[in-house]
Amino acid sequence: MVREMKSTVRTDGPKPCSALIQGAIGLPGNDEKVSSDPIMLSHGALCIEKDRIVAIGDYTELTQRFDPAECYGSEDHLILAGFVNAHDHVRAPSSVELGVPDDLLEVWILDLMRMPDLDPELVSTLAHCQMLESGVTTVVNSFYQPTAKRYDETLTAMLTGAQHSRARAVVTMSTMDESIIGALLSDVRSQLPNGLRKQTDQFLASRNVMSMPEYADLVRSWSVQTDFDRASVIMGPVSVHWCSDAMLEQIWDLSTSLGLPIQTHLLESAYQRDAANARYGRSVVAFMNDAGLLNERLSCAHCVFATPADMELFAAAKVSVIHCPGSNLRLQNGVAPITDMIKHGVNVGLGADSMAFDDDGDMLNEMRFAHGLHADKATGSPLLSKTTLLGMATRNSARAIGMGNQIGSLEIGKKADIAVYKSQPRNDGRRMTPSIDALFSSDASYGVDQVFVDGELVVQNGRHVKIDRDQLHAELIQAAEKKLRDSKSFDGFIHALKPFIRQHVNNRL
């Protein structure tokens, strides 16, 4: 079988192309079916010309038809579409490394304010580099800053970092006008001792919130930016119930007029579910349906507490859900009902949320973890197959952010965003046959060899071609340690507040 891009130019000899990669190839399954699994092409090869895939087929046939400038892979290699990390916050080093332990979500959000303010360009470079080395080629960065000036500057720095790494960056330009911190502190204010209450009042008074017109100006200008290649923006409320109804309406109107997808956090914790129920008098998803906010351009991260009725509404409106399994467990929210969502016909993508279970932003390990996590209680057998998880991390994630026609699967004409894996030889010198099973094997014998974004080689032998990740990581840890030493008084304020927030949230559960 040979699939090839049609050309009007006839040549007698082999056609030149940028690169040919040999290996077993994971191709998309039936694209019409939401949960259809990828299929494998053995003894295959794939040709790249500039930033596009131009041919996929049998290795021997393609070597006769093409004259590649570079050759990669072997019959032991496995070739897959680059992963699309559909929900992340581009944090590195991890929050644990920066002194913020895993905790109940609402306590952890408060604690995050203690994280040292590191150079966002270096943070972004490191985070993207880490993810590229685990086979991720596109990262959706759920981004927020409280003031317009800081928003613009930090976003510029983060995209500069992404550009250094050469990853594809999709930034969710998020906003809110009723912050979670403000809501939580107002809830516990009356219980605080006098001194702490005064400090809390001063802290709340010092917080600025960007206005909707300022936000709209930023989104308009970033939606047409030309300074960064491989970068684009989408929009979103940080979470639906942390925005006024008026703000939600304006965000959705702006997204319609600019044609931009929307991503939001939704139903991540039991506290969020209860707060939204109290606010709307019904499920937040039912409220969104009544307000006309559910549509194909919307993706919702987490949805741990979605009910079957919510899932029906998602499926009917073609809303996508982003599963963040490691984060959901680390922040004590539990296991999202993903298999039920898939049964309802919801498109489910995968995200690391900067809280992957192995704390290293490794998407492949996150998929291995999710495979073990979702099991049938009666039989113990996995409920999410390996190929389903692979489809979630690639095609479904790309669809969720409106990029399904460009990335997320290996198809002719699509962007050459590709991860190539190789197996380690066994003791007897033989290698495992390349397959999805081998990729998920618990001994992790398959690892990333090369990663291409837009046809550009960015990872070789499992390491970034330009950036020394270990050195950058060490530099940032050193900078963080210095800043942590200088921030003791704010730390004391946060530590004093934490027991009140914990009790408040637990009382509602």
Return the SS3 of 351.
coil
Could you tell me which stretch among 42-50, 135-143, 307-315, 406-414 binds Zn ion (CB under 5 A)?
135-143
Beta carbon of residue 301, minimum distance to Zn ion (angstroms, whole number): 5
- Between CA 387 and CA 365 the distance in angstroms is 15
The least CB distance from residue 265 to Zn ion, in Å, is: 5
CB count, 10 Å around CB of 405?
Answer: 13
Element (H, E) at 128: helix 120-132
Q: Point out which span in 122-130, 134-142, 186-194, 272-280 binds Zn ion (CB under 5 A).
A: 134-142
Question: Given the rule CB under 5 A, which of 245-253, 350-358, 428-436, 464-472 is the region that contacts Zn ion?
Answer: 350-358
Q: Per-residue string for binding with Zn ion, 83-122, x by CB under 5 A?
A: ----------------------------------------
Cα 188–Cα 88–Cα 78 angle in degrees, nearest 5: 150
CB of 405 to Zn ion, least distance (A): 26
Residue nearest to Zn ion (CB): 353
Q: Which of 394, 350, 87 is nearest to 239 (CA)?
A: 87
Euclidean distance between CA atoms 309 and 208, whole angstroms: 37
Shortest approach of Zn ion to residue 87 CB, angstroms? 6
Q: Which of 22/142 has CB closer to Zn ion?
A: 142
Distance of CA 473 to the CA centre of its chain: 20
Nearest distance in Å: CB 175, Zn ion: 14
Q: Is 366 in the site for Zn ion (CB under 5 A)?
A: no
Q: For residues 353 and 454, which CB has a smaller minimum distance to Zn ion in the complex? A: 353
Contact pattern from residue 373 through residue 412 relative to Zn ion, giving x for each residue in contact according to CB under 5 A and a dash for the rest: ----------------------------------------
- The least distance separating Zn ion from the CB of residue 246, rounded to whole angstroms, comes to 24
Task: Identify which range of 158-166, 246-254, 353-361, 444-452 contacts Zn ion by CB under 5 A.
Answer: 353-361
**348/459 with CB nearer Zn ion:** 348
What is the closest distance, in whole angstroms, from the C-beta atom of residue 323 to Zn ion in the complex? 12
Nearer to Zn ion by Cβ, of 300 and 497: the residue is: 300
Binding segment (CB under 5 A) for Zn ion, from list 70-78, 98-106, 140-148, 376-384: 140-148
CB of 89 to Zn ion, least distance (A): 6
- 3-state DSSP helix/strand/coil % of the chain, to nearest 5: 40, 25, 35
For position 449 contacting Zn ion by CB under 5 A, the verdict is no
Task: Give me 297's structure tokens.
Answer: 């351009």
Burial class (CB in 10 A: 0-12, 13-18, 19+), 26: buried
Output DSSP code: residue 30.
-
Nearer to Zn ion, 351 or 404 (CB): 351
Residue (142 or 333) nearer to Zn ion, CB: 142
Binders of Zn ion among residues 205 to 234 (CB under 5 A) are none
Residues in binding contact with Zn ion, number by CB under 5 A: 2
At residue 478, φ and ψ (nearest 5 deg) are: -65, -45
**Interaxial angle between packed helices 194-206 and 488-508, expressed in degrees from 0 to 180 and rounded to the nearest 10:** 100
| Residue partners of 408: CB distance under 8 A and separation at least 6 | 81, 84, 394, 395, 396, 397, 398, 399
**Residues between 141 and 160 with contacts to Zn ion, criterion CB under 5 A:** 142
Dump the DSSP string for 261-282: -EEEEES-SHHHHHHHHHHHSS
Give counts: helices (H), strands (E), the chain: 19, 17
Among residue numbers 239 through 278, which ones bind Zn ion (CB under 5 A)?
none
| Binding of Zn ion by 353 (CB under 5 A) | yes
**H-helix segments, 50-119:** 59-65, 105-112
**Distance separating alpha carbons of residues 192 and 106, to the nearest angstrom:** 17
Q: What kind and span of H or E run contains 372?
A: helix 363-373
CB of 66 or CB of 108, closer to Zn ion: 108
Quick one: which segment of 116-124, 200-208, 283-291, 345-353 binds Zn ion (CB under 5 A)? 345-353
Query: Which one, 154 or 387, has the nearer CB to Zn ion?
Result: 154
List, in order, residues 6 or more apart from 189 with CB less than 8 Å away. Answer: 197, 200, 201
Which segment (150-158, 242-250, 347-355, 356-364) binds Zn ion by CB under 5 A?
347-355
Phi-psi region of 332 (alpha: psi -120 to 50; beta: other; left: phi over 0): left
Interface region with Zn ion, contact rule CB under 5 A, candidates 128-136, 149-157, 278-286, 346-354: 346-354
Interface with Zn ion (CB under 5 A): 142, 353
